[in-house]
């Protein structure tokens, strides 16, 4: 799928932003991935998957405090398996 064209077509498609962020992260474009995760989360603040990925990316980028806040928000949404990641990366 051409995520750039899909986003040009629908700027409110949060899922496409998250999918494009995953690809950018995979190819080492961490800054671009962070932007896309953030944009997707702004459109759909209840997207715990995007929030979790963004949190882990922030930690990878050296933004531990901010990343751990994202992971904590995922936990507050009731996603209990995130606590393993918090224990590993945030304590």
Two tokens, residue 72: 């904590």
H helices, E strands: number in the chain: 6, 0
pLDDT tens across 27-59, in order? 999 999 999 999 999 999 999 999 999 999 999
Per-residue confidence band for 7, with pLDDT thresholds at 50, 70 and 90:
very low
Whether the predicted model's global pTM rises above the 0.75 cut:
yes
Q: What is the pLDDT of residue 8?
A: 47
Indicate the Cα dihedral angle 57, 36, 6, 24, nearest 10°: -40
User: Phi-psi region for residue 28, left (φ > 0), alpha (ψ -120 to 50) or beta?
Assistant: left
Say which CATH superfamily domain 3-90 falls into: Tetratricopeptide repeat domain (1.25.40.10)
- Report the candidate in 18, 43, 34, 22 with the shortest Cα–Cα distance to residue 67: 34
Domains of the chain by residue range? 3-90
């Amino acid at each position: 799928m051409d995520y750039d064209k899909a986003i040009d077509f629908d700027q409110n498609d949060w899922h496409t932003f998250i999918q494009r962020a995953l690809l950018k992260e995979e190819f080492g474009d961490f800054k671009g991935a962070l932007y896309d995760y953030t944009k997707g989360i702004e459109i759909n603040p209840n997207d715990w998957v995007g929030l979790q990925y963004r949190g882990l990316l922030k930690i990878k980028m050296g933004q531990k405090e901010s990343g751990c806040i994202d992971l904590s928000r995922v936990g507050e949404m009731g996603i209990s398996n995130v606590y393993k990641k918090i224990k590993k990366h945030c304590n």
